[in-house]
Amino acid sequence: MDFSEFHNWVYKEYRIDLNAYKPEQLNRRIGSLMSRVGISSLADYKKLLMSNKEERDKFIDFITINVTEFFRNTELFMELEKILKEYFRLNSRIKIWSAACSIGCEPYSLAMILNEINPRINAKILATDIDMNILRRAKEGEYLPSEMKNVTENFKKKYFKDINGKFLIDTKLKSMINFKKHDLILDIYEKDFDLIVCRNVVIYFKKEIKDEIFQKFSDSLKKGGMLFVGATESIYNYKDFGLEKVSTFIYKKI
């Protein structure tokens, strides 16, 4: 079995399209997983994934790249907050999509920002990810001290409960967010978003897939709605997607 056959099997079995990822990076990640369990052939690794749920969950988690933190690149979130304050002068309600939300740090960061802008704000946040195990953890909203490094002491006291050394997110913030499974490559996108946040994800995809995703994001935004991407994901051809640059990593639909 070669990597192409393995990718096709993963798609058929788990509905994850590995052919959309940059092959060099992806295959290195798969090879790293195999070496961790002492397996050298893809055929044997396939057998392991079919028979061992724990290894299967590790594979899906590792491949779908669940790296996140609260207020990742804090200065960019501060810039977003300034822009949202201006946006709310013209809009009384807001619909946000946190795409590829991982364990929930990003949508909860957005909820904190919105609450700081206006505690009575009419906001709905859709938070999606391809990994159901990760989404279950996001819904719980429970975090270790090591995952709280960018959260200020004020925000810890205001938005979290310290329970036995773990931090539990405030129920009001939870109520603002709807967590849902979604595949950026294969699934239909909802419409009429004021803000879409998708950070540090599309860098792993091939250029043609990346461009398709940016176009779908643009189609899903209201006119004047914004797209916030990661600190390594400048969109150089943003005009091709009907966007204009608002800030270094924030774009607005024209």
Q: Hey, is 155 helix, strand or coil? A: helix
Same domain for 106 and 188, yes or no, is: yes
pLDDT tens over the chain, length 254 residues: 899 999 999 999 988 888 888 888 899 989 999 999 999 999 999 999 999 999 998 898 887 766 688 999 999 999 999 999 988 877 778 999 999 999 999 999 999 999 999 888 889 999 999 999 899 999 999 999 989 989 999 999 999 999 988 999 999 999 999 999 999 999 999 999 999 999 988 988 999 999 999 999 999 999 999 999 998 888 999 999 999 999 989 999 99
Same domain for 56 and 91, yes or no, is: no
Q: Is residue 68 part of a domain?
A: no
Same domain for 198 and 161, yes or no, is: yes
Same domain for 212 and 132, yes or no, is: yes
Same domain for 129 and 208, yes or no, is: yes
Q: Is residue 206 part of a domain?
A: yes
Q: Is residue 12 part of a domain?
A: yes
Interatomic CA distance for residues 180 and 129, integer angstroms: 7
Segments forming the whole domain that contains residue 185: 74-253
Q: Which of these three, 42, 63, 84, is where a domain ends?
A: 63
Interatomic CA distance for residues 95 and 156, integer angstroms: 25
CA 118 to chain centre: 24
Same domain for 153 and 210, yes or no, is: yes
Same domain for 149 and 114, yes or no, is: yes
Same domain for 50 and 131, yes or no, is: no
Q: Which of these three, 63, 88, 104, is where a domain ends?
A: 63
Q: Is residue 226 part of a domain?
A: yes
Number of domains in the chain: 2
Strands 122-129 and 193-198: unpaired
Domain CATH code at residue 174: 3.40.50.150
Same domain for 170 and 215, yes or no, is: yes
Same domain for 13 and 136, yes or no, is: no
Same domain for 41 and 126, yes or no, is: no
For position 66, what pLDDT does the model report?
66
Per the DSSP assignment, residues forming a β-bridge with 167 are: 143, 162
Q: Is residue 69 part of a domain?
A: no
The alpha-helical segments, DSSP class H, found in 88-234 are 105-117, 132-140, 153-159, 171-175, 207-220
Q: Is residue 32 part of a domain?
A: yes
Same domain for 167 and 59, yes or no, is: no
For position 140, what pLDDT does the model report?
95
Q: What does the DSSP assignment read for 88-117?
A: TTT-SEEEEEE-S-TTTHHHHHHHHHHHHH
